[in-house]
Structure 1
Amino acid sequence: MRITVLSGGVGGARFVSGVREWARRDAAAQSLAEDAAHDIRVVVNTGDDWWLAGLRIAPDHDSLLYSLSGQNDTERGWGRREETERVAAELQAWGVTPSWFTLGDLDLGVHIARTAWLRAGVPLSEVYRRLGERWPLGATLIPATEDEVDTHVHTTDGQRMHFQEWWTRHRAGIPAVRFENAGIETAQPSPEALEAIADADVVLIAPSNPVVSIGPILGIPGLRDAVRATSAPVVGVAPVIGGRVVRGMADACLTAIGVETDAAAIARHYAARGADGVLDGWLLAEEDAASVDGLTQDGILTRAVPLWMRDADTSAALAGNAIALARDVR
């Protein structure tokens, strides 16, 4: 089965890890080699990327890379395990990087390699491939676009700042008026992303931030159309449970675009394919089961399932529920 996931950072990485675990278990149950049974491709948000100290930083890609490779720091929930920060301290002492954004030494190695390749003219998709070769990931990471579409936040006090400053430094504490992906109007989807969506047997939208993770992917001209045109069923997973975000500050982003922090409201924000949207199916939490019938009547086949991804078993179970719903849609 060809499975394509649209994903952002930490929450998306956890979900993709669950998809991979489900694929492994399903292949074992069929006595098949894992790579022969399932092909997992992940279209990654690049809207969080930015330039810092002359280096191209890619938080969502790196969250996926570290999580799938087992290099992630599970205690902090981000970055590399067994990390040190000697270089970061020097950079901050020289005033090259801000104190509110720390780059670990191992993490810097990835950023330097990425930047060196980009400066040499290597396409971003090839950079992803090279970075992914170091460890067995069990999935192929694909940039949504080769173009830079960094996210900027316009706030109520008249500021315009990069998303990373708003998110990391201010913890989304300054209310946002709108989000801008600079240059997205002329950006093009990467050919690999279009192929992954067109050739998929199922397309899954991870429980990532709908505004700043999935939004920039679907906002790239032609990519939303590709999702709408694919013959594969498209199933999304809610990033909120009982009106509360699972992780991060997605509620601040949703409020800025006038969407309630509610699983049903987010599904209607994505909208059914029959209503010029992208969804065929939607998984929400058991706590939100009261919304199942209404969404199904809106043309989005919806099921209430356990959404908490606490470990490999619960993450694989969620992925399995998404695949099962996709099969029912088909």
Structure 2
Amino acid sequence: MILTLAGGVGGSKFVKGLASSRYKEDVTVVINTADDFERFGLYISPDIDINMYTLAGLIHEQGWGFKDETYTTQSVLTDLFGQDCWFNLGDKDLATHIYRTNLLRKNITLTEITRNLCNKLGVSMRLLPMSNDRISSYIDTPDGCFHFQEYLIQRRMSDKVLNIDYRGSTNASPSPGVLDSIAEAEIILVAPSNPLVSIGPILSVPGIKEGIKKSKAKVIAVSPIVNGGVIKGPADRMMRDMNIEVSPIGIADFYEGLLDGIVIDFLDEQYSDKLQKRGLGVLVTDTIMDSDEKKERLSNQVVEFAADVKVKAL
């Protein structure tokens, strides 16, 4: 069994590749939920939705929300009622949030709701929220502490990041199936998601990081850093603010003690020797997933690379 840890846009591209790969029948994905928040009384789970919509073939070309979306409801909220709609909510997307919120109010868990939504969208891959408990990433800045969505969208990533707090994680539990999936996995893949606010929250849930360390699985990370930057999102500037080297070396540092191997782009081949000297297997390949064919090819390469990597000593 192949277990993948994933966040939003970058993670969903890799998960899409896995869904088309030779190994698609054997994949479970644990998804970050520390981006979740409420707007207008609705519970929004951005990373779960991005992965669901991507796998269902419904994702907008921008990387989130439904394709062929309209924004009539949001326009009325803004123009008629004077609401600040800094977080875009499309009309189709609102249906998902209304459906999820209604079920949560009936004490149905996020895990059950996600399974239900996947079934309705025709998504066969198993997607697990990292926890059914509420965990939120808060970004500490010189101007105050903000929820990640506020930092990312409302404040346009303009603040210097002083610290990141995964609020609620200390007392949270992994969602049902997560620890069993870790224990049963032969390969654990860390998608090329933001390490600080996509994968970090998953690892902060008690039992998950410890389970991976104890696992006999090969653990492989795909670096989201390419040539000193990222394709999308704030990972590079956040890493820089947190004094983490913006390179595959910084990624290896962040996941220290977990990895058996790392996948890096051709443009970062100069780091290969340093990574190997740390005892990591290294695959140098094209990691830019700008087509479905390249997503599938990368996913196949990563799984096959993992099979040949020497597992860490227990």
Q: TM-score range by the shorter chain?
A: over 0.9
1:145 aligns with 2:131: yes
Residue 30 (structure 1) aligns with: none
Match of 1:67 among 54, 78, 92: 54
Residue 205 (structure 1) aligns with: 190
Q: CA deviation at 1:111?
A: 0.4
Asked whether the 8 Å contact 1:283–1:305 carries over to 2, the reply is yes
Residue 115 (structure 2) aligns with: 129
Aligned residue type for 2:10: G
Structure 2 alignment gaps of length 5 or more: none
Asked whether the 8 Å contact 2:77–2:85 carries over to 1, the reply is no
Q: Secondary structure at the match of 1:79?
A: coil
Q: CA deviation at 1:97?
A: 5.1
Aligned pair count reads: 310
Aligned residue type for 1:315: K
Asked whether the 8 Å contact 1:153–1:179 carries over to 2, the reply is yes
Structure 1 alignment gaps of length 5 or more: 27-33, 272-276
Normalising by the residue count of structure 2, what TM-score does the alignment of the two structures yield? 0.95
Across the aligned residues of Structure 1 and Structure 2, the Cα RMSD in angstroms comes to 1.5
Asked whether the 8 Å contact 1:289–1:304 carries over to 2, the reply is yes
Asked whether the 8 Å contact 1:14–1:315 carries over to 2, the reply is yes
Match of 2:64 among 71, 78, 81: 78
**C-alpha separation between the residues in 1 aligned to 2:77 and 2:104?**
22
Asked whether the 8 Å contact 1:53–1:96 carries over to 2, the reply is no
Asked whether the 8 Å contact 1:6–1:205 carries over to 2, the reply is yes
Q: 1:96 to 1:109 in 2, by over 3 A?
A: farther
Q: Secondary structure at the match of 1:148?
A: coil
Cα deviation code 1:15-49 (max 9, x no counterpart): 000111113xx6xxxxxxx6xxx321110000100
Asked whether the 8 Å contact 2:264–2:285 carries over to 1, the reply is yes
* 1:207-286 equivalent positions in 2, closer than 5 A: 207-271=192-256, 277-286=257-266
Q: Secondary structure at the match of 1:6?
A: strand
Asked whether the 8 Å contact 1:40–1:138 carries over to 2, the reply is no
Asked whether the 8 Å contact 1:149–1:182 carries over to 2, the reply is yes
Residue 187 (structure 1) aligns with: 172
Q: Secondary structure at the match of 2:54?
A: helix
Percentage identity across paired residues of the two chains: 35
Asked whether the 8 Å contact 1:42–1:140 carries over to 2, the reply is yes
1:48 aligns with 2:35: yes
Residue 44 (structure 2) aligns with: 57
Asked whether the 8 Å contact 1:4–1:203 carries over to 2, the reply is yes
Aligned residue type for 2:158: G
